[in-house]
Structure 1
Amino acid sequence: MMMMMMMIALLALLFTSHTYALATKFRGKPFAVTSRPVALHTGEVFNKFGHPQYLPRHVIKDAAKKPIAVTGYKADVVEFEDATGKKIKQSAPLYDCYLHHYGAIVGRMEDLLPFYHQMNGRLGATMPMSHIHAEFEQFVSNTKKGKHSTKKKRVASIGGGSGAEERGTPHVYPPGFAQMADDIDAIMPLMHLINTKGTETVTPAGNSPLLECPCTSSRQFNYANQTIDGKLPNIPFGQCNAQMQVDANPSCAFDTYIQGYRCCEDGVFVIPGDEHGDLLNSEVSHYGMKFTFFYEHAKSNTRALRAPVGCCDVTGDLENFGNIEHDITPACDDTNGDTCVRKFVTRQYLDIPPKSGIGGFGYGNATLTPSDKRAIDAGKKWVDLVYAVGHQHVGGDAAHGIRLIRDATDEVLCTSLPKYGSGTAAGDERGYVTGIKPCIFAEPIRMRSDEVVRIESFYNTTYEHFGVMSLWILQVADVEETVEEVITAA
C-alpha cells in the first residue's frame, strides 16, 4: 500500500500541465431541471434518452428575448421517493445506482420530442454517447428540409462520455466562451444508469462488479452474425490500434469479448437470473438525474463552443477511431518492485470533421478510408482548446490518470487525475472515482485541427478489470480567420 501511495504521488508530480487553470466559480444565473424517474429492478440497466421536459418558465422567457450563453453546469444522480417524481429522496450513492455515462441536449421541444421517439425506437436504443449533439442537428436539418426555414437555431449539449467520475468535477467554461443557444424551451437527457442497490458483492478493489457490466448467461451471442440478443451492438466493435491487437485485448473483437458496455444495453440485467421471472420480482428503486445550468445573455464578443471533437480514445490511432473500451489484464508483482501501473499510449488527430461514417470515438466506421483522409485534409482549420477532462470511470483504485500531449513537442496540454472516495456518503463513496480534474484554459491553446496529440492513460494492473475507458472530452471554439491569417498573426 505504501508503495502504491508513493506511486500516486509521483504520478501527480509528473502530470504537470503547462496550462492556466481558472477558478471554478460559476458565472450567470442558475436553473435546475430534474429528469423523470426511472424505475429499475435490482441489477437492471437504463441506457437511453429520458423524456424531454420543459425548462423553467423564466428561462424560456429569457431565451425568447435574446440568445443565451451556457457558461457551465453540474450534474447529479438522484433517487426519488416513488414513481411520481414529485419529490427527490436524496443524491444517490454510487454503490446504489451507478452512473455509467450521461448527456443532455437543450433545445426546442418541437425538435426534441420527435428525435426522442426516433432514437428510443431504433435498433440498439441509443447512439454513440459522444455524438448526441451532431446527430440531433442532422436530424433537425433533415426533418425541416423543404419547409419555410428560419435562421438555424443553436442548441447546447453536455456530457456525452461523462459519468459518475465527473460528479465532483467543475464544468465551468472560461470567460468569453460558452455554449450558445437560441430560443430554447426544453431539455432531453441521455442516461446510462445501473441499479446496484441491495447487491452486496464487491470486487477485491472495493467497488461493485456490476459497474463493469457483466455479460450474464442471459446474453445471447451469435458469433456468425456478430449480434448480442439478436441486435448489433449500438457501438460497433472498432479496429483497435496495433498494440492493442498485439496484446490481444479481449474487448477489441466480438469473438473474444468478455464483458463491458456492449452487455449494458437498456432493459438488460447485469446480475444472473431469469430476466422474465425472478429478477422482475426484486425491489424497484426510482432514479434519475438533476442538472443545474448557469447562463447569461450572449454578448457580441462571446465565442461559441462546438461539439463534438473527434479526439480522443487510447484504443484507436491515426487510422482507427477506436473501440471505446478495453480490458486490464493482471500484471503485477510487488516482490520485484513492480509499481503495478501500466501506461497505455496512442496518437490521434485533434479534431476530425464530423460527417456520416467519420467523426470520432464510437462513431461510424472503425477505420479511416481514403475519402475520410481527404475530408480531414480539406477540413484543416484552427481551433482554440478551452476545456478538457479525461474519462476513466472504473473505481477500486484502478484508474491512475490520463494525459493529453502535443506529440510534436511533448508539451503536456492537460492531465486529469481521478479522486477516490473514502466514506459512505453520496459523493464520497469508498472504492469509486468521485471526481476527476479538468483543465480550464484561461488562455486558450490554439491548434490545427489535424495536429496529432498523444494520449497516455494509466491503470493499476493489480486486479483484472473489464470495459475500462481512456477517453478525452474536449471543448473547442472554431477560429474564424483563415489559416494564412493565423500563421501571419503568429
Structure 2
Amino acid sequence: MVCSCLISSLLLLLVSSSISPSYSFKIKSASFLSPKQVMTPGSVTDPHLFDIDFPRGHIGIKGFDAEVVDEDGNPVPLHETYLHHWVVHPYYVRKGFNLSQLDLDLPRNDLLGSSPDYIPIRNGGLCGNRVRHYFGLGSETRKTSTYVPDPYAIEIGNPEETPDGYEFKWLLNIHAIDTRGVVDKQGCTECRCDLYNVTVDEYGRALEPGYKGGLYCCYDKTQCLVRKGFEDGDKTRTLYLKYIVRWVDWDSSVLLPAKVYILDVTDSWEPSEGSTGDIQEHFCHVEYDVEPCTTSGDGCVDVRTKSLMIPFNGYIVYGVAHQHAGGLGAALYRADGEGICSSMPKYGNGHEPGNEAGYIVGMSSCYPKPVKVTYGETLTLEFNYSNVVGHTGVMGLFYILVAQQLPEPESSLQAHAKSVSFLALLAVTVVVVVVAVVVLIAAVVYRRQNREDGYQSLST
C-alpha cells in the first residue's frame, strides 16, 4: 500500500512538472492626488506642477488613468468642472535645484525648453515644439483604456540613462474650467475669447487677428462669463486630479519596451526635396477651428487629414485619439488606404460622472495585431468633427505605442520553463523506474519467502 501511494504521488508530480507555467506580470498600482486646485464658478486652472508623486525606480508603466475629484474623493461631473486636458511628462533636474525657482513669466516654450538645470524628456513623436508629454487625455479620461498590452511596457527611470548630477522627476499640467453658472457652457469649454474678455495671451502678447478661441484665451486664472447673480455667495471648492498609475518592476527578460509617439493633425510639415521627416522639420499648432457647414443634415462633417513621413522603425501595438466635443472619430492608415488603427468617441447620455450628456466621456483604444512601420514610410491621420455648429480650439492628437521588437515565438521564460520541466520530467521518470524496480524485487522476494515457508512434499 505504501509503495502504491508513493508511485501515485510521483506520477502526480510527473504530470504537474510536465506542464509549463505561464508568466504573470506582477502589476502594482497606486493612487495619487495632485496639489489642490481652488476654483470658483467660471474660473480656470492651468498650472504646471513639478516633482509630483510618482512610482520611483526602474519600472515599466502599464497604465495611467485620471479624473477630477473633490475634497471627499468624490468624482466631479464634467458639466460642473470641465477637464480640458491633463498631461504628464518626465524630466531631469539638476540635483539640489528647485525647479519652481524658474522665472514662470517666460513663454511656455522657453519654460519647457532645456537649460543647465532642466532637461525635458520628450515622447518620440514629431511635435517637438509643444506636444512633449508621455501621458495625457481630457474629458474622455474616465472611459478610455490606457492599458499597455503584454509583454510591452513603457520603460521609465533607467539609471544608465540619467545624466550625472541629475534626478529623474515628473511634471503635471492640469487644465480645468469651472462651468457652474456660466452663460455658455460650450463656449467656455471651447475657450471662446469673447466669453473670457481676453485680447492678449498669458504672456501679455496680443492675439493674432481672427483668433476666436482656444488655449490662448483660457489660461490659468482667466474667468469665463457667469450669469448675473450666480456669483453671489461663497461657491469656492477645492478639487484635485486623482491619478492611478499601474506599473511593473523592469525585467528585460520578460518585458519589451514600447515608446510613446504622438502625432498631430495640425502638423505643418510638408514633403520637400531632401526632407527626412525629422522632428526639426515639424511645427504643430495643437488646436484648430471647425467652421460651421452651410448645409444641414448628416453631411455636416469636417474632415481633416495629414500625411506624415515616419522617421523610425517599429511595430504599432496600441493607439488612441484625443478629441473634443463634436468629435466623430479618428483613424491612422497607410498611404495606400490600409487601415492601421481607429479610435471612436463615446458620448454620455446622463448626468452622473462618467456619463455626462453632450460630453465625450471615452475614446475607444486600438490594440492591433502588431503593425510594422518602416523609416520613410508615409502614414495618414484623419480626424472627423461634426460641424452642424462651429467649434473653436479643437484638437486632433493621435497617441501610438511603438515597440522595437516583437516577442519571440517562444519567450526565454517559456523556454526556461520547458527546460526545467524536461529536467523535472527526466528526474521523476528515473525515480519512478527505480522505485518500480525496487518494488518488483521486493514483491518477488516476498512471494518466494512465502512459498518456501509453506512448501509440502507430495512424496511423503
Aligned to 1:293: 245
Q: How does 1:229-308 map to 2 (within 5 A)?
A: 231-232=204-205, 254-271=208-225, 283-301=235-253, 302-308=255-261
The aligned amino acid for 1:211 is T
| 1:387 is the counterpart of 2:308 | no
The structure 1 residue matched to 2:305, chosen from 345, 366, 383, is 345
| 1:458 is the counterpart of 2:457 | no
Superposition deviation, residue 107 in structure 1: 7.0
Aligned to 1:45: 44
The aligned amino acid for 1:465 is H
The structure 1 residue matched to 2:401, chosen from 475, 480, 489, is 475
User: For the Cα contact (< 8 Å) 1:40–1:284, is it kept in 2?
Assistant: yes
Deviations 1:305-343 (A, max 9, x none): 33454x222463426534222222221534xx6522232
> What secondary structure, in the 3-state scheme, does the structure 2 residue paired with 1:323 have?
coil
Superposition deviation, residue 434 in structure 1: 0.2
The aligned amino acid for 2:259 is R
User: For the Cα contact (< 8 Å) 2:320–2:365, is it kept in 1?
Assistant: yes
Superposition deviation, residue 440 in structure 1: 2.3
CA distance in 2: counterparts of 1:178 and 1:280, whole angstroms: 50
Deviations 1:251-296 (A, max 9, x none): xx9211111111111111122699xxx9798621212211111111
The aligned amino acid for 2:138 is G
For the structure 1 residues 157 and 469, does the alpha-carbon distance in structure 2 shift closer, same or farther, using more than 3 Å as the test?
A: closer
Superposition deviation, residue 215 in structure 1: 1.1
> What secondary structure, in the 3-state scheme, does the structure 2 residue paired with 1:467 have?
strand
Deviations 1:161-185 (A, max 9, x none): x211232101011112212223799
> What secondary structure, in the 3-state scheme, does the structure 2 residue paired with 1:172 have?
coil
CA distance in 1: counterparts of 2:217 and 2:96, whole angstroms: 27
Aligned to 1:488: none
For the structure 1 residues 139 and 414, does the alpha-carbon distance in structure 2 shift closer, same or farther, using more than 3 Å as the test?
A: farther
User: For the Cα contact (< 8 Å) 1:69–1:181, is it kept in 2?
Assistant: yes
The structure 1 residue matched to 2:328, chosen from 395, 400, 408, is 400
| 1:419 is the counterpart of 2:371 | no
Deviations 1:399-439 (A, max 9, x none): 111111111x2111111110000100000000000000111
For the structure 1 residues 37 and 447, does the alpha-carbon distance in structure 2 shift closer, same or farther, using more than 3 Å as the test?
A: same
| Bigger mean CA offset, 260-269 vs 46-55 | 46-55
CA distance in 1: counterparts of 2:100 and 2:367, whole angstroms: 32
Aligned to 1:148: none
The structure 1 residue matched to 2:187, chosen from 178, 198, 209, is 209
CA distance in 2: counterparts of 1:137 and 1:174, whole angstroms: 35
CA distance in 2: counterparts of 1:292 and 1:192, whole angstroms: 18
User: For the Cα contact (< 8 Å) 1:387–1:439, is it kept in 2?
Assistant: yes
Aligned to 2:371: 445
Aligned to 1:354: none
CA distance in 2: counterparts of 1:446 and 1:139, whole angstroms: 38
Deviations 1:112-165 (A, max 9, x none): 9734543x71424x459xx97xx57996459xxxxxxxxxxxxx96424x2112
The aligned amino acid for 1:389 is V
User: For the Cα contact (< 8 Å) 2:41–2:179, is it kept in 1?
Assistant: yes
The structure 1 residue matched to 2:174, chosen from 178, 185, 191, is 191
CA RMSD of aligned residues (A): 3.6
TM-score by length of 1: 0.63
Superposition deviation, residue 458 in structure 1: 1.2
The aligned amino acid for 2:354 is G
Deviations 1:426-476 (A, max 9, x none): 0000000000011123x4222124322111111112112111112212222
Gaps of at least 5 residues in structure 1 are: 1-24, 81-86, 143-155, 222-226, 234-252, 351-379, 481-490
Aligned to 1:73: 64
User: For the Cα contact (< 8 Å) 2:97–2:117, is it kept in 1?
Assistant: no
Identity of aligned residues (%): 23
User: For the Cα contact (< 8 Å) 1:75–1:167, is it kept in 2?
Assistant: yes
Superposition deviation, residue 74 in structure 1: 1.4
For the structure 1 residues 105 and 317, does the alpha-carbon distance in structure 2 shift closer, same or farther, using more than 3 Å as the test?
A: closer
User: For the Cα contact (< 8 Å) 1:178–1:305, is it kept in 2?
Assistant: yes
For the structure 1 residues 127 and 178, does the alpha-carbon distance in structure 2 shift closer, same or farther, using more than 3 Å as the test?
A: farther
Aligned to 1:243: none
CA distance in 2: counterparts of 1:401 and 1:218, whole angstroms: 29
Q: How does 1:7-406 map to 2 (within 5 A)?
A: 28-55=27-54, 60=56, 63=57, 67-80=58-71, 87-88=72-73, 90-105=74-89, 114-118=98-102, 121-124=104-107, 126-127=108-109, 140-141=118-119, 158-160=134-136, 162-182=137-157, 187-199=170-182, 201=183, 208-216=186-194, 219=197, 221=199, 228=201, 231-232=204-205, 254-271=208-225, 283-301=235-253, 302-309=255-262, 311-314=263-266, 316-318=268-270, 321-334=283-296, 339-350=299-310, 380-394=311-325, 398-406=326-334
Deviations 1:5-64 (A, max 9, x none): xxxxxxxxxxxxxxxxxxxx9971111111121001211111122353444xxx55xx3x
For the structure 1 residues 229 and 312, does the alpha-carbon distance in structure 2 shift closer, same or farther, using more than 3 Å as the test?
A: closer
Aligned to 2:20: none
CA distance in 1: counterparts of 2:209 and 2:370, whole angstroms: 43
> What secondary structure, in the 3-state scheme, does the structure 2 residue paired with 1:171 have?
coil
The aligned amino acid for 1:284 is T
CA distance in 1: counterparts of 2:48 and 2:203, whole angstroms: 21
For the structure 1 residues 141 and 191, does the alpha-carbon distance in structure 2 shift closer, same or farther, using more than 3 Å as the test?
A: closer
> What secondary structure, in the 3-state scheme, does the structure 2 residue paired with 1:446 have?
strand
> What secondary structure, in the 3-state scheme, does the structure 1 residue paired with 2:172 have?
strand
User: For the Cα contact (< 8 Å) 1:314–1:457, is it kept in 2?
Assistant: no
For the structure 1 residues 43 and 70, does the alpha-carbon distance in structure 2 shift closer, same or farther, using more than 3 Å as the test?
A: same
For the structure 1 residues 269 and 71, does the alpha-carbon distance in structure 2 shift closer, same or farther, using more than 3 Å as the test?
A: same
TM-score by length of 2: 0.67
